[in-house]
Amino acid sequence: MSSPIDRTVPTVSLVGAGPGDAGLLTRRGAELLARADLVLADALVGPDVLALANPAAEMVTRTHAPTDAPGAREANQNALIARMIAEAQAGRRVVRLKGGDPSIFGRGAEEADALLAAGVPVEVVPGVTAAIAASGLSGIPLTHRDHAGAVCFVTGHDAGRAREQIDWRALAAFPGTRVFYMGRRRLRRIAASLIEHGLSPQTPAAVVSQAATPEQRTVCGTVATIAADCDAAALPGPAILLVGTAATEPGDRGWWERRPLHGLSAALVGAGPQPAAAERLRAAGAEAVDVPLLATPRIAAPDGLAEAVDALRPGDAIAFTSSNGVDGFGRLFEGPERRDLRALFGVTLACVGPSTAAALAPLRLVADLAPEEYSAEALADALAPHVRGKRVLWPTCPEAKPTLADRLSAAGAEVRRVHVYRQAPATALPADAAALLDAGRLDWALIASGNLGRSFAELSEGSAGRARLKVAAISENVAAACRDAGLHVAAVAAEATWDGLVDAVSEAETA
């Protein structure tokens, strides 16, 4: 008998995580993740979905091997339910994050019943189930006016088991598309059972592997050939099998796998995360992982910054060699004691490249000068004719080479170097990037500076996938530094921006 629902206990949310792509998570699911105290996730939930969770939440990923004994799986399931009940009764907001949709082969009803029996309120948030994702992204319809007026979902786990519940005769006669979940390992048995019970061996069949991920692949054939076709293609699971007259080669409808960078993976090697560049890579079909190898914390009270700005006069200049320098400089124009921007009237603002110039926009400033070649040397050469007898402020970090200051001083300028941030190099590659590299699955590294290139080369040395890795460098100077460090440079950005790096990779892959 169920206990009365205790409305003082936080609701446990059974959230469908969708098929893998974070863009296919529902808005409600994202809201609940953002305020969860505890997230209990299935093993197949994608890292991009997990990244949407409350940073302070406890994350537990549930894992079990397909070969685990049923008794072990049931024990794990019972322990998970017991924990959900205990955590909710302790006042924590629990999200049970389930791959696909909780109600389609997800044991959602079983978990909801157990929670309700304990008096714990439950909310079920639907998700995009794998069959819907596989159909939409492969271009193979589940229903079609000319071919299939019905669709049925079947678990492939039952195929060939002593106590299977599948009515094969009914399935063979079904007038529509049959969709089998979790059936990759039993593909031969499923096909043989359908044929044995009356389905024509020539009936179209398709398997969509790893739907809604950059690794998605589709293999089409017939019921008689599909198992051999998938083996020949070394198609991995998890996979969805579609059987019926609508399950034919999708042609131009298969848009997901026709994207220019589909199936590739790329590391964005920068000072910090690069969400805009990562999104562009994902939109083109690639898996994108951030590899922030350089923390750049602001210096709390930059020695001499306010005095150096106050000393500037019309005709003087500020040289920005990074967006971090802009950020550190910009603190003077924040808060209740901020400086008036008019103090910079007549001062030349010189930026090393477009990304640094763009960083001025939040300060409502515009760069006056930028060299054609994006380097400190080129910036110094561009400024040199204008700064003899003038002051030049250079907001930078203690680790920056003195090249710019030396060249401008030689040109007759009075250079004031002020440290506004620090560089703290990483000591290891992030786990996701290291795993891709070690598995030989990392195709590209997009590298934004020579220091980052050297650091990446050092941290990736000895990795099994290093030999096949291609590098896209943000400029020729960075390319030279990467080559000197032993990396294979396959592309150089025409414009020294992250967009330029993404364009360089796209052009190299589609040439």
Quick one: tokens of 415? 């250079």
- Specify the CATH class of 305-419 in words: alpha beta
**pTM, rounded to two decimals:** 0.78
Q: Count the Cβ atoms, other than its own, within 10 Å of residue 316.
A: 22
Where does the chain hold its CATH 3.30.950.10 domain(s)?
Answer: 131-258
d(CA 436, CA 214): 13
d(CA 179, CA 166): 13
From edge to edge, which strands make up the β-sheet containing 348-351?
A: 348-351, 317-320, 391-396, 414-419
Give mean pLDDT, residues 3-30. Answer: 90
CATH 3.40.1010.10 fits 12-128, yes or no: yes
Residue 39 backbone phi and psi in degrees, to 5: -120, 120
The residue among 485, 480, 479 whose CA lies nearest residue 500 is: 479
Beta bridge partners of 317: 348, 392
Share of the chain above pLDDT 70, in %: 96
Write down the pLDDT at residue 343: 86
d(CA 433, CA 429): 7
**Helical (H) or strand (E) element with 476:** helix 476-484
Q: Count the Cβ atoms, other than its own, within 10 Å of residue 19.
A: 32
- Specify the CATH class of 265-294+426-510 in words: alpha beta
Per-residue pLDDT at 63 exceeds 70: no
Q: Which long-range contacts (CB under 8 A, 24 or more apart) does 360-366 make?
A: 360/320, 360/326, 362/330, 363/326, 363/330, 363/333, 365/341
Distance, CA of 266 to chain centre: 10
pLDDT in tens, 191-212: 999 999 999 999 999 999 999 9
Distance, CA of 366 to chain centre: 32
pLDDT in tens, 29-54: 999 999 999 999 998 898 889 989 99
Per-residue pLDDT at 248 exceeds 70: yes
- Superfamily of domain 131-258 in the CATH hierarchy: Tetrapyrrole methylase, C-terminal domain (3.30.950.10)
Where does the chain hold its CATH 3.40.50.10090 domain(s)?
Answer: 265-294+426-510, 305-419
DSSP H stretches of helix in 54-173: 70-89, 108-117, 130-138, 168-173
Per-residue pLDDT at 487 exceeds 60: yes
State the amino acid at position 109 in one-letter form. Answer: A
Size of the chain in residues:
511
Where does the chain hold its CATH 3.40.1010.10 domain(s)?
Answer: 12-128
Per-residue pLDDT at 300 exceeds 80: yes
